[in-house]
Amino acid sequence: MLAAFTVTAMGSRKPSPSDAFRLARECYATLGVDVDAALKALAGIPISLQCWQGDDVGGFERQGGELGGGLAVTGNYPGKARTPDELRADLEKALSLIPGRHRVNLHAMYGEFGGQRVDRDEIEPAHFKNWIAWAKANRLGLDFNPTCFAHPQAADGFTLSHREKGIRTFWIEHCRRSREIGAAMGRALGTPCVTNVWIPDGFKDTPADRLAPRERLAAALDDVFAKPLPRKHVLDAVEGKLFGIGAESCTVGSHEFYLGYALTRRKLLCLDAGHFHPTESIADKISSVLLYLPEILLHVSRGVRWDSDHVVTLNDDLLAIAREVVACGPHRVHLGLDYFDASINRIAAWVIGTRNLQKALLIALLEPPAIRTAELAGDNTARLALQEEAKSLPFGAVWDYFCETQGVTAGEAWLAEVKAFENNVLSKRD
Separation of CA 53 from chain center: 11
Q: Clarify whether 414 is annotated catalytic.
A: no
Which of 55, 90, 295, 338 lies at the binding interface for Zn ion (CB under 5 A)?
A: 338
Q: Provide the minimum distance between the beta carbon of 156 and ligand RNT in the complex, in angstroms, as a whole number.
A: 18
Q: Which is nearer to ligand RNT, 289 or 366 (CB)?
A: 289
Closer CB to Zn ion, residue 237 or residue 362?
A: 237
**Span interacting with Zn ion, options 165-173, 184-192, 292-300, 395-403, rule CB under 5 A:** 292-300
Active site residue 341: no
Residue 309 and residue 347 in contact, taking contact as beta carbons nearer than 8 Å: no
| Closest to ligand RNT by CB, 70 or 394 | 70
Calpha distance 334→46 (Å, rounded): 8
* Site track for ligand RNT across 226-265, x = CB under 6 A: -------------x-x------------------------
CA distances from 133 to 80, 94, 244 (A): 23, 19, 35
Query: Got the DSSP string for 243-294?
Result: -BTTB-SEESS-HHHHHHHHHHHT-EEEEETTSS-TT--SHHHHHHHHHH-S
Q: Is 136 a catalytic residue?
A: no
Residue 299 interacting with Zn ion (CB under 5 A): yes
- Catalytic residue status for 280: no
Burial of 36 (0-12, 13-18, 19+ CB in 10 A): exposed
Is residue 272 a contact point for ligand RNT (CB under 6 A)?
yes
Active site residue 198: yes
Q: Which of 131, 198, 350, 414 is catalytic?
A: 198
Query: Residue 243 or 399: which CB sits closer to ligand RNT?
Result: 243
- Residue 52's binding partner, choosing from ligand RNT, Zn ion, none, with beta-carbon cut-off 5 to 8 A by kind? ligand RNT
Q: Which residues in 34-63 contact ligand RNT (CB under 6 A)?
A: 52, 57
Q: Which candidate in 102, 162, 275, 359 is catalytic?
A: 275
Helices (H), 61-163: 84-96, 129-137
Dump strand ranges (E) for 103-213: 103-107, 141-145, 193-197, 202-203
272 as an active site residue: the answer is: yes
Using the rule CB under 5 A, give the single segment among 154-162, 227-235, 297-305, 313-321 that binds Zn ion: 297-305
Using CA atoms, how far residue 349 sits from 140, 252, 344, 414, in Å, is 19, 31, 7, 12
Task: List the catalytic residue out of 151, 267, 285, 299.
Answer: 299
Q: DSSP for 372-395?
A: HHHHHTT-HHHHHHHHHHHTTS-H
x/- map, 137-176, ligand RNT, by CB under 6 A: --------x-------------------------------
Tell me how far apart the alpha carbons of residues 33 and 370 are, in angstroms, rounded to a whole number.
10
Q: Residue 206: what are its φ and ψ, rounded to 5°?
A: -55, 120
**Which amino acid appears at position 275 of this protein?**
H
- Applying CB under 5 A, the span of 139-147, 178-186, 257-265, 268-276 interacting with Zn ion comes to 268-276
Per rule CB under 6 A, is residue 276 in the interface with ligand RNT? no
Burial of 30 (0-12, 13-18, 19+ CB in 10 A): exposed
Nearer to ligand RNT, 32 or 65 (CB): 65
Closest by CA to 297, choosing from 163, 105, 155, 146, is 105
**Which residues are CB-neighbours of 381 under 8 A, at least 6 positions away?**
none
198: contact with ligand RNT by CB under 6 A = yes
Catalytic residue among 338, 367, 400, 422: 338
Of the listed 80, 162, 174, 241, which one is catalytic?
A: 241
Q: In the complex, what is the shortest distance from the CB of residue 339 to Zn ion, in angstroms, rounded to a whole number? A: 9
CB environment 361-371: b (16+ within 10 A), e (fewer): bbbbbbbbebb
- Phi and psi torsions of 395, nearest 5°: -65, -25
Element (H, E) at 236: strand 234-239
219 phi and psi angles, rounded to 5 deg = -65, -40
Which amino acid is it at 138?
Answer: N
- Of ligand RNT, Zn ion, none, which one sits near residue 356, judging by CB under 5 to 8 A according to partner kind? none
Active-site residue 102, yes or no?
A: no
Shortest distance in whole angstroms from residue 239 CB to Zn ion: 5
Site string for ligand RNT, 348-387 (x = CB under 6 A): ----------------------------------------
Q: Interface residues with ligand RNT (CB under 6 A)? A: 52, 57, 71, 145, 198, 239, 241, 272, 299, 308, 338
Site residues, Zn ion (CB under 5 A): 272, 299, 338
Active site residues: 198, 239, 241, 272, 275, 299, 307, 309, 338
